[in-house]
Amino acid sequence: MLYGGAAAEPAPLVARIIEKKAADFNGRNRVVPRGAMHATRGNERNSVLRNVRGLAVVEEGKSTDDQWQQGADYRDGTLTTRTRQERAMPIDVDKLLSYPIPTVRQRLSRQDAAFYALSVGMGQDPADPRQLPYVDFTKEMTVLPSMALVLAHPGFWLGDPRSGVDPTQVVHGEQALTLHHALPVDTDLVSETTIEEVVDKGVGQAALLYTRKTLKDADSGLLIASTLNTTFIRGGGGFGGTGAQPKASLTMPEGEPDYVVDLPTRPEQALYYRLNGDHNPLHADPEVAAKAGFARPILHGLCTLGMVCHALVRSLCDYRASHLREMSLRFAAPVYPGETLRCEIWRDGSFRAWVVERDVLVIAQGRCIAGTAG
């Protein structure tokens, strides 16, 4: 699994060409004024970008959603849709449904919470005191909500042959997170992961696996957070299961975003983030990254999600983490450490993210609910 697991092949690279925008620097982050934005990007269902000798080429007539559902491959710098014969390896659904996904217990320490926040880029502005509660473990702490995704994680269990899945065809497609209560430090947490649904798209097509993780206080049983993971298994269809359609794509608001926040990634950020538990060499070893078709190791998808979570907490919640109650998104393309992540956010909770240097869409279909409960 590219985002959040260990497998050999990357997720599909989907994007569209956008016009570069002028930006002002406010001393803390680059913010594009609302008046400088134009409603030219629109919905992500426009085109698929492939890289040919470093040049961006748009494949007309294909939407990013269609490409994501078909199954794509990114090798030798070029985005290609693999043939049905290459992809076809139906999952063993009986093995999958009977696999004993481990229950995991983990203590959330102050140091762990601070390290996670630092690993997703918080604390880079020493003049912003609002970030200190997330990174200073000597004081009263606030935990970034996205940390729920890595806490008490069951690991890449789809890599076990007993799961009935070919791990080289696994792509982390979408992620959703619901916070029922603020993440508590100095507390033991326990997770349970269950398979919610397996969708069969047909012979030679994909299988979609929906898994839900609940995170509870190990002592009281209080539900802290729940996550929904959409895993895309290329060529895994044809096992005789339900042909239910995947969730409908969301339409982004018309007009310019209300907030645009640029967050820089550090060149060594993937090396820090992998200490949260994702040891996939694709994010550290240049040789492994090259074999996968990348110029260098790429950032973890869940690290990119954590940075987007930071942008949401900053823009919509004024750094009050308890006000971010839900977020969901689709992974569209990887980020290289050292690049700048531009987060575009609307007041209704819609959001998406781009890599500034390459004008590549990396997070699509973003939605969040922010505000006080009730």
Which tokens belong to 289?
A: 């990254």
Q: Is 283 assigned a catalytic role? A: yes
**Residue 162: which region, alpha, beta or left (left: phi > 0; alpha: psi -120 to 50)?**
alpha
**Residue 371: which region, alpha, beta or left (left: phi > 0; alpha: psi -120 to 50)?**
left
Q: Is 323 assigned a catalytic role? A: no
Which tokens belong to 348?
A: 């209704």
- Check 166, 172, 200, 283 and give the catalytic one: 283
Distance CA 145, CA 215 (A): 12
Closest residue by Cα to residue 213 from 201, 222, 204, 225: 225
- Check 278, 300, 310, 323 and give the catalytic one: 278
With 0-12 CB in 10 A as exposed, 13-18 as middle and 19+ as buried, what is 11?
buried
Residues 6+ positions from 46 with CB-CB distance below 8 Å: 16, 63, 64
How many residues in total does the chain contain?
A: 374
Q: Which residues are catalytic?
A: 278, 283
